[in-house]
């Protein structure tokens, strides 16, 4: 990707300045985990069973551990290494929980962790076409993230997305016992999973709300989670749970900070709920679509 600065209408290319060492990339990423990925740093250089994990992080939203590996060498298999780390985690769950408790002074138990949402992130300045294609499966618990460093202190971070036609990786690993074992325990939830559960009517309603949300601003990402689908920029804007006969929306803002003149939203600030924020709205049609978008837009404008 070419990066330019606009200087009085003339574009000047920003020169890339590669990371000198892998550890420099690691330090930068770890120092900004919350900003980049909304993750909590648990331990840098976590050693377990004769293996070393570059970064152990925790996803508080999904209550799951995330393993992060940094690479400057392109001659490696992200699939083999990724599943090796996932297998290591699932076979030594107690060690990960103990590390979390010691580092963060908490009292988590093994059953408090949602191991189905575990995943591995590979972070590098770039990936080969083979590495990208080998991870192009919609339900693969392995992600690729590219980080470019440029002059003028510019850093570009980009996730390598899956193609819309990406297939499931599970049929391809039937004969591999080790990978099959990991695949049976870890579940990458896709947008299609939520839609299939809800059925045609709510899937159509969701599609109308989705289109309206994406039209509110550029750069809004769709991030399927275990129970809901998140729409986010810097952080979650709104989360949608597809149910059989309705959609449940949570707008990510403290209750009382949005102008809801119709009083359409319910205050769930002190009520257990899946999504983020203090506003909950349940819909079974699009009669209030434009008004709900006006509420969501108030959150978008603050990001």
Length of the chain counted residue by residue: 303
Predicted pLDDT at 39: 96
- Interatomic CA distance for residues 44 and 53, integer angstroms: 8
Task: Using alpha carbons only, give the angle 186, 191, 195 rounded to the nearest 5 degrees.
Answer: 115
Contact at 8 Å (CB) between 88 and 128?
no
- Interatomic CA distance for residues 104 and 108, integer angstroms: 10
- Interatomic CA distance for residues 64 and 193, integer angstroms: 20
226: its two tokens: 């275990």
From the list 141, 297, 157, the residue with the least C-alpha distance to 226 is 141
Neighbours of 218 (CB within 10 A): 7
pLDDT tens-digit profile, the chain (303 residues):
788 999 999 999 999 998 988 999 999 999 999 999 999 999 999 999 999 999 999 999 899 999 999 987 777 789 989 999 999 999 999 999 999 999 999 999 999 999 999 999 999 999 999 999 999 999 999 999 999 999 989 999 999 999 988 988 878 666 677 788 888 899 999 999 999 999 999 999 999 999 999 999 999 999 999 999 999 988 899 999 999 999 999 999 999 999 999 999 999 998 878 888 999 999 999 999 999 999 999 999 887
Predicted pLDDT at 235: 86
Predicted pLDDT at 273: 80
- Interatomic CA distance for residues 250 and 236, integer angstroms: 10
**Residue 139 neighbours by CB under 8 Å, 6+ apart:** 168, 169, 170, 187, 188, 190
Predicted pLDDT at 52: 95
Predicted pLDDT at 173: 66
Contact at 8 Å (CB) between 297 and 253?
no
Give the pTM: 0.86
Q: Which domains does the chain have, with CATH numbers?
A: 4-185 (3.40.1350.10), 191-300 (3.90.1150)
């Amino acid at each position: 990707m070419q990066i330019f600065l606009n200087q009085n209408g003339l574009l000047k290319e920003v020169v890339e300045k590669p990371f000198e060492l892998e550890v420099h990339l690691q330090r930068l990423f770890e120092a900004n985990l919350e900003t980049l990925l909304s993750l909590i740093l648990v331990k840098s250089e976590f050693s377990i069973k004769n293996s070393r994990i570059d970064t152990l992080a925790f996803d508080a939203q999904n209550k799951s551990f995330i393993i992060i590996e940094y690479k400057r060498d392109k001659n490696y298999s992200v699939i083999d290494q990724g599943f090796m780390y996932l297998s290591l985690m699932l076979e030594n769950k107690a060690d990960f929980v103990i590390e979390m408790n010691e580092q963060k002074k908490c009292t988590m138990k093994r059953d408090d962790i949602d191991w189905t949402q575990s995943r591995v992130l590979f972070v590098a300045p770039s990936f080969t076409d083979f590495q990208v294609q080998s991870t192009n499966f919609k339900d693969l618990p392995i992600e690729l993230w590219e980080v470019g460093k440029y002059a003028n202190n510019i850093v570009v971070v980009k996730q390598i997305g899956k193609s819309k036609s990406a297939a499931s990786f599970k049929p391809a690993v039937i004969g591999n016992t080790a990978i099959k074992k990991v695949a049976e325990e870890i579940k990458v939830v896709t947008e299609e999973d939520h839609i299939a559960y809800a059925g045609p009517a709510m899937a159509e309603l969701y599609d109308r709300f989705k289109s309206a949300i994406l039209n509110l601003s550029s750069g809004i990402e769709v991030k399927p989670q275990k129970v809901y689908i998140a729409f986010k920029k810097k952080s979650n804007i709104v989360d949608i749970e597809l149910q059989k006969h309705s959609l449940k929306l949570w707008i990510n803002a403290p209750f009382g900070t949005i102008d809801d003149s119709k009083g359409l939203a319910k205050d769930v600030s002190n009520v257990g709920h899946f999504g983020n924020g203090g506003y909950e709205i349940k819909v079974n049609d699009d009669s209030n679509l434009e008004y709900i978008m006006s509420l969501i837009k108030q959150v978008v404008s603050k990001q």
